[in-house]
Amino acid sequence: MEVMTHSSTFLLPSNHHSPSVTYALVVLNQPLLRFTPLLWNHAQVRVCADGGANRVFDEMPLLFPSDDALDVRQRYKPDIIKGDMDSVRTEVLDFYTNLGTKVADESHDQDTTDLHKCVAYIRDFTPNLDKSNLCILVAGALGGRFDHEAGNLNVLYHFSAMRLILLSNDCLIYLLPSTHHHEIYIQSAVEGPHCGLIPIGMPSASTTTTGLQWDLMHSLQSYLVIEHCLLQWQV
């Protein structure tokens, strides 16, 4: 069985980043994570899901209180704003489009979530992005309305062949498909001490773990991994 490795080097400064991993960032319409600038700097493409553009416009300058707000907004310009456009403000759209941001209006599609739309776009319409070892970071995927959180978890399963990580200020979640063996490398400076493995949809039957305080023996199922983040971000 093929081995899939997992390492949260995106939580470390840029000089610790593995060059073999290509990151894309999706910013959802939730309060910005305190380490959003760190994720932004790691990413090769940055996508705001609809009202996520409002969050970047309004809240990114607050993370740099000593800098000019206009300068911060120009530095942190999304590459794409995508969604059904029911939340993003007109003045925010105008500001970013004048800076060259692409807007992909999917208001005709009410059958998928904005996150689903963004992940599909990254998969299908970013030809200059190296997808051989692509990891999509999703900021603001947790918290807020539970139906939105559940929808975000569903996206993990819909795109199970891709590597997606849902992030909040306190934890990160990703899927461990049962089609692979998995090796998880903990960045102890920013992660821990807690880690949860959660089978979704059916009882587990044949998974074995090593390195945890309470290891599993012979349980089989796709798992969600929830890790605790302890992070003071550095640009």
Q: Which of 7, 62, 40 is nearest to 185 (CA)?
A: 7
Asked if residue 202 has pLDDT above 70, the reply is no
Q: What is the C-alpha to C-alpha distance for residues 119 and 154, in angstroms, rounded to an integer?
A: 12
Residue 173 CB burial class (10 angstroms; 0-12, 13-18, ≥19): buried
pLDDT in tens, 43-69: 999 999 999 999 999 999 999 999 999
Query: Between 228 and 72, where is the model more confident?
Result: 72
**pLDDT tier at 80, thresholds 50, 70, 90:** very high
Q: What is the pLDDT of residue 107?
A: 72
Q: What is the pLDDT of residue 232?
A: 40
CATH of domain 3-229: 3.40.50.10240
Q: Up-side HSE of residue 171: CA atoms within 13 Å toward CB?
A: 14
pLDDT in tens, 107-155: 777 778 889 999 999 999 888 888 888 999 999 988 878 888 888 888 9
CB within 8 Å of 62: residues ≥ 6 apart: none
**pLDDT tier at 201, thresholds 50, 70, 90:** low
pLDDT in tens, 169-197: 888 888 888 787 888 887 777 777 777 77
Domain locations in the chain? 3-229
pTM: 0.85
